[in-house]
Structure 1
Amino acid sequence: MAGLDARVAALELELETLKKAQQIKGQVIVPERFDGAREKLPTFLAQVDLYFLQISDLSFPTDTNKVAFILSLLTGPAGLWAVNVIRGNSPIKNNLVDFKAALTETFG
């Protein structure tokens, strides 16, 4: 549990750092957090896709990095779902397409 808390804290710090850097550069900002509201999912996924288009592959070189970033943006019911994905060692953590499909199946 302490390891998970440390990882979440590190991801949140990285998220805040990225938000500030993006706002300074005037580029696309980090997507808003997603709480699981069905009507917000298409916009959230579009913002995530746009963000990854703007950020070089050096920042998120693997699907696992991209999924971890998205997991850090999930709150409320979606955040609880994220905890289950992380703790359950789900294989969708390593595949962005499968992860988005599971997120859409659950909240879309």
Structure 2
Amino acid sequence: MKAVAKKFFIGICLILLVAIMASYSWYMSLKEYTWKDNMVIGENIKYVDAGEKGTKYTKDDFKAGKTIGRFKGDKFLGSKTWVIKLKGVDANKAVLIKGIMFESIYIAQ
């Protein structure tokens, strides 16, 4: 019985280790974005808040795609704010900035 428990424990530890490594590699593969003067800057593209213009990117339904970026530098924003690609919209035109307490569409200048 002890050998079975030991193998089970080692198996669970290996699964957790693989999950942690996969999460870390996903996080490190995200592009880095920064805040500057009420704009979001990433990959030489400047995004500004779309306001009411952002509704044309969502059509009738909110269509968030996959996470494509994270914020660097600011400890508060960096760990809790993500850049998300909108489905059917090129990331060079508009992105969704999603934090814990807000969501806003930003369009490229």
Same fold, judged at TM 0.5 (above): no
Greater RCO between the two (CA within 8 Å, min separation 6)? 1
Which of these two proteins has the greater Rg computed from alpha carbons? 2
When normalised by structure 2's length, the TM-score is 0.31
When normalised by structure 1's length, the TM-score is 0.31
User: Normalized per residue, which structure has more strand?
Assistant: 2
User: Normalized per residue, which structure has more helix?
Assistant: 1
